[in-house]
């Protein structure tokens, strides 16, 4: 769901209470005070919440999550599969690096890495964008951290 002008995972500024979830031991009449907004719950409850929110906010149901912050999300009975291959392919296309050879990382230590000639880059903004995108990838891909450090 894309809820405009509302943050469902933010600190709450009003007191909000709820019944304890099923399976949570509690005394009869006991309730929970929320400190942060919650996601999840049963399907009927989610549909009910979406209807209630749609009455107060401009809403758009985007369906099942497929792509978020550069990661593709696939679902199976065993769980979720996250992949950044599309993000990486788009990064190669933007950097005009398609068709180049692939090398193992970490980088070979006996090679001197320097510009091919001492002329400035044609598009330094593109270089910074690519390096920034690579730095973002190192969050999930520690195997490329050394190579990204060299180019940055």
Conformational region of residue 140, where left means phi above 0, alpha means psi within -120 to 50, and beta covers everything else: alpha
Q: pTM to 2 decimals?
A: 0.51
| 77, 97: one domain | yes
Chain mean pLDDT for the chain: 76
| 55, 7: one domain | yes
| 145, 95: one domain | yes
Token pair belonging to 59: 């809403």
Confidence band of 115 (pLDDT split at 50, 70, 90): low
| 42, 79: one domain | no
What is the count of structural domains for the chain?
Answer: 2
| 97, 27: one domain | no
pLDDT of residue 40: 46
| 85, 46: one domain | no
| 39, 84: one domain | no
57-112 residue pLDDT tens? 888 878 888 888 888 888 888 888 888 888 888 888 888 777 766 666 555 555 55
DSSP-assigned states of every residue in 106-146: SPPTTSPP--SSSPPPS-HHHHHHHHHHHHHHTTT-GGGHH
Structural domain range at position 46: 2-60
Question: Which of 1, 10, 6, 5 is closest to 37 using CA atoms?
Answer: 10
| 76, 143: one domain | yes
pLDDT of residue 15: 80
| 29, 91: one domain | no
Confidence band of 37 (pLDDT split at 50, 70, 90): low
pLDDT of residue 2: 56
Confidence band of 5 (pLDDT split at 50, 70, 90): very low
| 51, 73: one domain | no
Domain boundary among 60, 83, 98: 60
């Amino acid at each position: 769901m894309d809820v405009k002008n509302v943050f469902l995972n933010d600190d709450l500024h009003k007191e909000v209470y709820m019944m304890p979830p099923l399976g949570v031991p509690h005394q009869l009449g006991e309730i929970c005070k929320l400190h942060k907004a919650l996601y999840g719950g049963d399907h009927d409850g989610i549909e009910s919440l979406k209807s209630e929110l749609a009455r107060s906010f401009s809403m758009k149901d985007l369906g099942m999550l497929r792509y978020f912050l550069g990661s593709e999300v696939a679902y199976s009975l065993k769980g979720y599969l996250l992949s950044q291959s599309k993000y990486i392919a788009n990064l190669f296309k933007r950097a005009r690096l398609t068709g180049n050879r692939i090398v193992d990382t970490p980088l070979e230590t006996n090679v001197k890495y320097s510009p091919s000639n001492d002329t400035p880059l044609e598009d330094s903004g593109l270089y910074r964008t690519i390096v920034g995108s690579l730095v973002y990838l190192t969050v999930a891909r520690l195997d490329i951290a050394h190579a990204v450090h060299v180019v940055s």
